[in-house]
Amino acid sequence: MSPLPPPGFPALQGFVLAGQALVGELLRLMAGDVAAAGIDAQRLHQLRQAYIERQWALLNALLAGEPLPQTGGAADDRRFAATAWVSHPVFDYLRRSYLLLAEFLHALAELVPFPDAKSQQRLCFLVRQYVDAMSPANFALTNPEFMQRALETQGESINEGIRHLLDDIARGRITTCDEAAFSLGENVAATPGSVVFENELIQLIQYAPLTRRVARRPLLMVPPCINKFYILDLQAQNSFVRHAVEQGNTVFLVSWRNVSAAQGHLGWDDYVRLGPLAALRAVRAICRGEDVNALGFCVGGTLLASTLAVLAARGEAPVASLTLLTTLLDFSEAGELSLFIDEAALAAREQAIGQGGLLPASELAGVFSALRANDLVWHYVANNYLLGRSPPAFDLLFWNADSTNLPGPFACWYMRHLYHENALREPGRLRMCGVPVDLSAVCLPTYVLAAREDHIVPWHGAYRSAHLLGGPTRFVLGASGHIAGVVNPARRNRRSYWLNPALPAQPNEWLAAATENCGSWWNDWSGWFRQHTGGERAARTALGGSRYPPREPAPGRYVREPA
């Protein structure tokens, strides 16, 4: 079987083919004239000679029946975790030879000079895509696990692998979990509540209280519109929504619509107006004018902070405290997602969908998968198609596969003004809903969480974003990545987080003086949040109100709309 994606995966196939072309150019540099390219010829010669010598040493050791020399590579690389990769000399040679080639190509890519860092990073990213795709673990004839499992199952694993491949081609994406194990409203997105408001873009869910007394101020959560809301309400044991309700809060949550062509005209201002702004008004009306505590996650946090800046420009301050989870406001360090965005790409997008249309969910999913291709693509190519295994049930990956579309005008505005121009950090440069926005005018206590291994919102970028707001800020750095760093249940109390009450200008300076704390950041947030609840009152027995009666049980119908 070929390691290239089948025809149903055009976005990823494009990445791999582009990477293949670039790596081909790099390989040609090995024998060509490099002076015109501005490459350090001596350094290139040293890299090439070292690579050739190490490859010959590997081959000679294999032919002589001697132990193979070490080649580097991550000791915990799960692509080569099976004992057959080490116990059989030929497969051990293939593994080590591949790791040598990967190391050489990455070094070669870094040697190619570019006028700007972004072009260098783009080349390194594409080289990584190609290198990951060409792993011997992705090929039937070079993967010892494929052969071993085929013998153990008397060929049934091959039949199962072909069946999985055909099913995924029909589905248009790679299956990463047992999706039949989960059902919305039953074992994910199952915290009890009701939809109490809706418009063209959102449904607003109010969750039923789980305590006799609740905080006086309600809590509004704004999840990312790029994904479904239930990343914050997975199974009961790892639901942040349920945790907040159990802590004695009246919780409201925005459920973004999975937009279709009918909403393809909506832009950034529409998302502010119909999203957080409409939700805040509804929550305050239901709770009889109480100030609101607000929480935003990822681009939901960007939209929420933008909304608060709009309200500040209008002289309104309905929010008492703000929590931002892995959110960018300053996009100067925006990670590998920014590599997909340049002037030429933006101009093409704006011409195609900038005035109307959709950025399809499949394309967004392909981009996010490419950022972690070994984990989200090639692992499942080997597991599902080569080994004929079905992926296990995993709620995070069930959510990850439930992608959403975005309106073209919204996506283009977001990419140009935030990712490309980084204009939100400059006071007054952007106008939203008719007013100039200034994040420093958002003067309220803020809790900012970043994740140390986040590849979507790098923690340095989140740290710089925290400096743009006008109120006192508590910055917390959690372990793990963009999703697992946030979904870290308090009852399990795993991993750790770092604290430093000071906020120096440089993130590494902050980290050097920070203290590591064992356990979940959820506990730290709960302690901070209690300071901003405004006291207690008896929990309401009914959800909604006379103007906002319950419409349907949570999780509502918007979240059920497929892409």
Q: Which residues are catalytic?
A: 298
Task: Confirm if 194 and 550 have CB atoms less than 8 A apart.
Answer: yes
Long-range contacts of 397-401 (CB under 8 A, 24+ apart): 397/176, 397/177, 398/177, 398/179, 398/181, 398/182, 398/188, 399/188, 399/227, 399/228, 399/230, 399/231, 399/234, 400/176, 400/227, 400/368, 400/376, 400/483, 401/173, 401/175, 401/176, 401/177, 401/179, 401/365
Q: Which two tokens stand for residue 484?
A: 């697992």
Hey, is 537 helix, strand or coil? strand
CB atoms within 10 A of CB 396: 16
The span from the CA of 141 to the CA of 120, in Å, is 34
Task: Confirm if 373 and 137 have CB atoms less than 8 A apart.
Answer: no
Work out whether strand 473-478 and strand 446-451 pair parallel, antiparallel, or are unpaired. parallel
Task: Confirm if 486 and 478 have CB atoms less than 8 A apart.
Answer: yes
Q: Which two tokens stand for residue 314?
A: 């209008």
Ramachandran class of 82: left when φ > 0, alpha when ψ lies in -120 to 50, beta otherwise:
beta
Beta bridge partners, 123, equal none
- Fill in the DSSP letter of residue 470: S
DSSP assignment string, 50-83:
HHHHHHHHHHHHHHHTPPPPP----TT-GGG-ST
Element (H, E) at 202: strand 202-207
- Fill in the DSSP letter of residue 226: T
Work out whether strand 536-538 and strand 515-518 pair parallel, antiparallel, or are unpaired. unpaired
Hey, is 193 helix, strand or coil? strand
557 contact partners, CB below 8 Å, separation of at least 6: 203
Work out whether strand 435-436 and strand 431-432 pair parallel, antiparallel, or are unpaired. antiparallel
Question: 503: closest CA among 532, 444, 454, 462?
Answer: 462
For helices 89-111 and 41-64, give the axis angle rounded to 10 degrees. Answer: 180
Q: In the chain, what's the furthest Cα-to-Cα distance? A: 84
Task: Confirm if 404 and 361 have CB atoms less than 8 A apart.
Answer: yes
Task: Confirm if 184 and 510 have CB atoms less than 8 A apart.
Answer: no
CB atoms within 10 A of CB 53: 10
List Cα–Cα distances, 437 to 271, 302, 311, in angstroms. 15, 13, 9
Hey, is 561 helix, strand or coil? coil
